[in-house]
Amino acid sequence: MAWSIHHVNLEAKDVRRAAAFYTEILGMRETPWAFPKSRGYLPGDPDKLALLGDGRDGHSGLHLIAPDKEFAKRNDLAFNPSVGGHVAFQVDDLDAVIGRLRAAGIAHSVTGEFAIPGLRHVYLEDPEGNLIEINGRV
């Protein structure tokens, strides 16, 4: 199975302060966030969400998000990607991954095109309790 790291999501209590650090001190570039038409609840306010793109596509790179304890509930997810941070992998066959998760009895949440145009998402925890996101093309 082919895979790559798509993005790293960091919790940021002050998104603008964190974004300023990454842009002004580390030299990254903040890019606009494009939302899919079918998105769930995602904060559109730049004080709640920032993207520091790596230039590969419109959403890969570093994501900064304000923690929202109700995010998972509002989006009917078993895991909350806005709290504690996570890494997101992109795979070439998301359905195969979902099949293996189901066969192994591993709890996970599957979304349609939710946060990033053109991608479906799966959220789960690894055996050490680290939240991970796995993405595949729609």
pLDDT digits (tens, 9 = 90+) for 24-56: 988 899 998 888 877 677 777 889 999 998 888
* Max Cα–Cα distance, the chain, nearest Å: 46
Q: Which domains does the chain have, with CATH numbers?
A: 3-137 (3.10.180.10)
Of 131, 127, 119, nearest to 91 by C-alpha is 119
Pairing of strands 119-125, 131-137: antiparallel
Residue 39: its pLDDT value, please?
A: 67
pLDDT digits (tens, 9 = 90+) for 99-113: 999 999 999 999 989
